[in-house]
Every structure is written in C-alpha cells, then in structure tokens.
A and B are shown apart, each in its own frame.
Chain A
Amino acid sequence: MAVRKSTSKPNISANELLNYYKDMLMIRRFEEKAGQLYGMGLIGGFCHLYIGQEAVVVGLEAAAEEGDKRITSYRDHGHMLAAGMNPDGVMAELTGRVGGYSKGKGGSMHMFSKEKHFYGGHGIVAAQVPLGAGLAFADKYQENGRVTFTYFGDGAANQGQVYETFNMAALWELPVIFVIENNQYAMGTSQQRSTSSPDIYTRGAAFGIPGEAVDGMDVLAVKGAGDRAVKHCRSGKGPYILEVKTYRYRGHSMSDPAKYRTREEVQKMREERDAIEHVRSLLLTGKHASEDDLKAIDKEAKAIVNASVDFAKESPEPDLDELWTDIYA
C-alpha cells in the first residue's frame, strides 16, 4: 500500500500562482476582519478562524473540478471562500443576518451552498466524515464521476466513526478524499498528548487506503498531492487520505487564550513557514509580480472584505417568522 511523504510538486503557471496568492490572502483578510467583528460583538457564539491554514483549501480547490463536493467541520470560513461562495453571504451569516447563507439560522459553524457543492459546516467533531463518504456514495450510485473532499482535523482523527467510515469507503470503493488538516492541536491538546502514532496518514493502511503526508504550508505541494488524490478517486480506485501538516495561528476559537503553546512557537511558524509569505516570495523572486502588484491585490482583498462587512451590518436580522420555517421540507 502506498503510504508516503510526498515532495513532488506540480508545474503551474505564474498566473495560477498569482491566483493562489489572491485566494489565500482573501481568506486571511476575511478572517482577520471576522476576528475584529467578534471583538466588537457583531459576531457571537463560537467563531473558529482559519488563519495559517489557507494553503490547504486553496491548494485542494485548485485540484478540484466543477461539481466536486466538499464538506468540513466548524472551522469552515476558508473552505467556503475557496469554494467560491460569496464573502457577503458568509460574513452576513457570521453576524446572524438574513442575507447570510443560512438566513442567519446557522452561524459560523453551519453554512451550506448547494450551488457551490459545499455541504457544511458541521459542529460535532468527525460527524462530517461519514457524511462526506455518504456524499461520495451518492455520487458513485449516480455514476456522475464526482469526488468529495472530506476535511477533518487531527482531533477528529481519533473518533471511532472515522475508522468505521474508512472501512466502508474502502469496501465500497467510494470516491472520497479524506483530508486531515493536522494543525497540531485538537483544541488545547497537542498531537503528542492525544495521538499514539504521529503519522495519521498511515492509518488508512489497515483498510487498504493509500495515504500521503503533505506540507500544508506549501500550496504547491498541496496542489500536487490533491491532483494525485483526485486522479486516484476519479479513476474508481476508492478513497485516498491526505494528511496535510498545517498550523493555526489563532486560538481554537475566539475565546481560547492558547496557553498550551508558547508565543515563540507561533511566532516562529509565522516568520519561517507562512504559506502566503512563501508564495509572495516565489512571485517576487521569479519576477512574476512586483511589490506594487501585490499591494494592489491586498488592497482589493481588503475592499471585498470591507464590502462584505457593510453588507453583513446592513442586512436585517431574520424575520421573527423564520423561527418556524425550514424545520420540515
């Protein structure tokens, strides 16, 4: 069984690289703003930011085709933006307004878009794993050639239903890519303290599922691994596991002071391994973009985010009648 740590990277054009940069920066600016709005009391409840992990979804979306599905946990803002969902609708959902993707009834953790094939947005750790395999089951049943990206974290990887799902996905050769976003902390518990073997990507071997470990701070490596996983799934060979090693800069949620790791550890990742900085330097050293070009990109991202905030503030709260709608179809 192919279990390996991948290093190979795809050949991509300067234009694609520039797009990755734009997409990753967009997510970061969006999340920074969401954090700010949370502090202002405009966003309530739980709010889990994706800052630091942007290369994972951007790299994998670059490997997806139209019609492929994705499903993830509650740390979902980045996935939605990368899938092409409108920042206005995401931000308005965060503020609990009727213009949000769930009309304000889902919140940060529960957004969906049938149009963009984004199936949530799930709040129970690892519950999205069998759900994602189920989406793949439906695709296989309908013989439509689609694959499903099922994202979960290193914490979720210890839930029993993950292995129930691995077993059935392998048994029934479901076209599902299990993307383990290993950001090294399951809330406040480091991987060393929670996980008996460090290489989660090898855990599919018992079920005959190939797995790779991928550098999640390198969007090109993620894209390359995503291409291999997609090719495997789409050719009917069954599931594939990608363990994408990444890092979140912020706490688990907005209320997490992150006392379980040092400030130096976070600082070191930001300075030495930041995924956006990495692409920035590739663009500049390769002379694919100038400092001014990149400044313009940043300005544009900020403008889109600011517009989404305006929308999210202006959109009214849901009508009181909405309490009683959408319970039954």
Chain B
Amino acid sequence: MAIQILMPALSPTMEEGTLAKWLIKEGDIVASGDIIAEIETDKATMEFEAVDEGVIGKLLVAEGTKAVQVNAPIAMLLEEGERSDAVDIDVTVAVAQPVPSQMVEIEPASIAPAAPAESVMSSVLVGPDWPEGTPIKQQSVREALRDAMVEEMTSDPTVYLMGEEVGEYQGAYKVSQGLLEKFGNKRIIDTPITEHGFAGIAVGAAFGGLRPIVEFMTFNFAMQAMDQIINSAAKTLYMSGGQMGASIVFRGPNGAAARVGAQHSQDFAAWFAQIPGLKVAMPYSASDAKGLLKTAIRDPNPVIFLENEILYGRNFDVPVMDDFTVPFGKARIWREGRDVTIISFGIGMQHALEAAKKLAADGIEAEVIDLHTLRPIDYDTLISSVQKTNRCVTVEEGFPICSIGNHLSSVIMERAFDYLDAPVINCTGKDVPMPYAANLEKLALVTSVQVVSAVKSVIYR
C-alpha cells in the first residue's frame, strides 16, 4: 500500500506553507531521517525529513508551489514491489482542497485563519488613516512591523534593537528579518536568554540617552523582567521630578498562539494598562502595526507594544507613504452602525468584525471600534458611539476579571449612564489557564459566536 507524504505543520500557528524545494526525485529510495524537501513557513525555511522508508513514486506538488495546506498530500511513497502508475492522486485537489484543521471544524462560522485578509478588509471601513488617493500595498503585519523598525532606525541612530534571536536567527517570529544585515551587530543585538537582565540593561541604556527596542520572544517571558518594566522604566520620570525617563519600546507577541498551553498563551494587555508611566499599544491591522510602532519608537516614554503571533502572517492594506504614523490615544471606527457599539483591540478585532458581518446578515448594524492604544484610551470616541447606539459590547482575549472591558464598562456607566438601554457586556477569554487540548482551547478563547450572542442579548433579540 502506497504511503501519502503530507504537508507538515512546522510551527504552532502554521496553516499553509510553500514547498520551496524537493531534495529527492521520483524513483529515489528514501530512508527515515532523509531530508526530502525544504518547506517555507511564514517564519523560516525548514528541512522536512522522511518518516517512512520506500521509493518515491510520485511528487504531487511541484517545487515553488505556494499556499500548500497543512496535511495536503505532497508525495507518494511506494513500498517494495509497488508501481507508481498504480497511484492515482489529483495534484490540483491536493492544493486546492486542504484537509481543514480541527480548529476550523469546531466553529464552522468563523473565518478560517488561512482565508485571505481581504475578506476582513472588505467590511465597511471608516476613515483610513491616510489621505485619499494614497497608493496601497498588501503587506503582512510581520513585514509592516519590520518596516517600521527599519524606517525609525534609519532616521535615528540612537534607536537599536535587542532581544533573543533578533539578529543572526532573523527573529524567532521573523519580525526582524534582514535587520542584522542592514544595521550590523552594534544596533541589532542578540542577547542571552536573560530577560530580567537585558530588560534592565535596556532601561539603563535609555536613561543614558539611547532609544532601545526590546523584543521579548513572547510577552510571557516579560514576566521575568516585570520589575524593570514597572519599577525602573515606568516610574523613574516621576521619581526624578521629570529629570530623566526611559524612551523605550518593549515589543513582542502577546496572547494565545495555538496549542502552546498555559504558560505561552496569555493576554497581558490589562496588566500593563494599569500602570501609570507606561503607554500600551495593541494593533490589529498591518497599517496600524506599522504606524503605531513608529509612534512608539519616537515616544519619549516607555511603551508596551503588544503584537499577536496569529496576526503576524495576516495581510492588510498598508499605505505607501514616506512617513506613515498612527497617533496614540485615537481609536479607529472600522465599521459604522446604529444598533450597537462593539469595542475591541488587537486580535479581538477579528472576532468583533466577524461578528459584525454575521449580525449585518440579520439586519443588525454594529459599530466596531478599534482602541489602538489601551493607555491612553480614546474615551471620547467610545462615549459618542455609545450615545448614538445606546448599547455596547466589549471584546478581548484576556481574562475576565479586571479586564479592559470591565474598565470601559465603568467609564461608560459614569459618562453615558442615561444613554444605555442595556448593561454593557464584556466578552473575554474564560477564567482558566489555557488548556492544550484543541477542543478545550477553543472553548477557552473568545469567539465571534460569543460576540454575536452578547450583541443579541443587549438588543433584546
């Protein structure tokens, strides 16, 4: 019986990849452990080894094929005595009809993570942050973040990047790809695995007049550096009576990735947003990622910049401009609506926009607002929207207790109580450590279904 060789998942969030190169040809004998192909994920080019022994009967996917879905058959391995013409597989089917991942099956209503980004972008977009007629390009969040760093490092020699694997490895999530080559090892600094230490060194360097960008491989590891972030970076300006502060950006992926368990899946937005002296940005789209990161790097204060691993590979419209920035403290209305206000930020925006789309099909027009920054928060935009719609749902991935949504509910209650026709509902992640099992993980995360149901509840339908 012939064995199908399937497209492997080579990272926790990989849904598809490019079959960059075959290292074997049809008729070759392979043994387990032989490298048979090079596969490009959104993060890196990986070598792919054979697991079983046999003769390569047929290569089903040609070299250079992009967007090969995980689990699609890419080659047939013949056992002793089998002939390749006995194998009947349609190559086009293998690419075009991927085996859906389990995550997608559980919630059929959600947009599959691999779906083109345009489906999100095509929803009504109010006021893009660039002048009308500006040329637009499609760019991933990852590339947008890299471009922001390149532009700011080019214009300001005191800006430098430090973190684990940011240089020679090209970034654990490939955000800093190409930067070492461009700027050299004086400004792109690989650190040992020592978050507490290098965060402190970076804060000291900021006191000394530099503008460091500190990459945490993920924000989970920033817990090791919490004292330097909170006690040294955030408070020194105040404690020194305004004499010295830290112009520094702490950035990296935050929140749940996929199937990486409790210690690697946590949204810290509400933690950092609580601290006076810090600024906190959490972009959703690629243009916001770029514009907000440029603003963060120029800011004379410590900025926590919360990215998202799942969003890194997502494409969005990005304006082609010499110097595109997005201001802090200004929310963006992604979609106008009269019936309900949905407030979110970061990856929560994905669920908010999906929900708005589903609600529109039911004749419910939701106004969807992206906060952009959690410190400062653009309260005025939220309040005017709630005064118009009289109903509000907040969406975030973080834990429910002391969430950003809790805070927004309180502000809305204080400033717009008489306008509310229903209690504000906070959609959040569940109050549990993130489980590993796929079905439980799905249950722990906030979903668009949950948002739709919350909206229906506040409009009493």
A69–B205 alpha-carbon span in the complex (Å): 12
CB distance from A174 to the nearest CB of B (A): 8
Q: Is the CB of B244 within 8 A of A165?
A: no
Nearest CB in chain B: distance from A90 CB, A = 13
Residues of A within 8 A of B236 (CB): 112, 120
- Taking Cβ atoms with an 8 Å cutoff, the residues of B that contact A are 158, 160, 186, 191-192, 194, 196-210, 227-228, 231-232, 236-245, 247, 276-277, 279, 300-301
Question: 6 other contacts beyond A137-B201, A141-B158, A142-B208, with CB at 8 A cut-off?
Answer: A100-B241, A102-B240, A130-B228, A134-B207, A137-B205, A326-B242
User: Are A129 and B238 also in contact (CB < 8 A) when A124-B231, A168-B192 are?
Assistant: no
The answer to whether A134 touches B205 (Cβ under 8 A) is: yes
A192 lies within 8 A of chain B by Cβ:
no
**Contacts of B244 on A, CB cut-off 8 Å?**
112, 114, 119
A131-B238 contact in complex given A141-B160, A161-B197, A329-B301, C-beta closer than 8 Å:
no
Do B204 and A141 touch across chains, with their CB atoms under 8 A apart? no
Size bracket, chain A contacts = 35 or more
Measured CB to CB, the closest approach of chain A to B193, in angstroms, equals 9
Taking the closest CB of chain B, its distance from the CB of A117, in whole angstroms, is 10
Residues of A contacting B198 with CB < 8 Å? 130, 164, 168
CB nearest neighbor in B for A166: B197
Known: A102-B240, A124-B227, A161-B197. A138 touches B208 (CB 8 A): yes
**Complex Cα distance A139/B244, Å?**
16
Task: Provide the residues of chain A in CB contact with B245, threshold 8 Å.
Answer: 329
The 0/1 profile, CB within 8 Å of B marked 1, for residues 130-170 of chain A is 11111111110110000000000000000011001101100
Q: What CA separation (Å) do A127 and B235 show in the bound complex?
A: 13
- Give chain B residues whose Cβ lies under 8 Å from the Cβ of A101: 240-241, 243
Q: Say whether A164 contacts B197, CB under 8 Å.
A: yes
On whether the beta carbons of B228 and A120 are closer than 8 Å, the reply is: no
A134 to B, closest residue via Cβ: B204
Cross-chain contact B194 with A167 (CB below 8 angstroms): yes
Report which of A102, A104, A106, A132 forms a contact with B204, defined as CB distance below 8 A: A132
* Residue of B194, B237, B243 touching A327 (CB-CB under 8 A): B237
On chain B, the residues within 8 Å of A160 by CB distance are 196
- A79 near B: Cβ within 8 Å? no
**CB pair B232 A122 closer than 8 Å:** yes
Chain B residues near A326 (CB-CB < 8 A): 237-238, 240-242
Q: Which residues of A contact B243 (CB under 8 A)?
A: 101-102, 112-114
B240 touches A112 (CB 8 A): yes
**A142 (CB) vs chain B CBs: closest residue:** B209
Question: Residue on B with the closest CB to A122?
Answer: B232
| Interface 1/0 per residue, A69-99 and B, CB below 8 Å | 1010000000000000000000000000000
Given A106-B241, A124-B227, A326-B242, is A161 in contact with B204 using a C-beta cutoff of 8 Å? no
Within 8 Å by CB of B200, from A103, A134, A141, lies A134
Q: Do the beta carbons of A167 and B228 come within 8 Å of each other? A: no
- Assess whether B201 is in contact with A168, with CB atoms less than 8 Å apart: yes
* Min distance, Cβ A91 to any Cβ of chain B, angstroms: 15
A130 touches B238 (CB 8 A): no
Closest 3 CB pairs of A and B: A134-B204, A130-B200, A164-B197
Q: Any chain B CB within 8 A of the CB of A250?
A: no
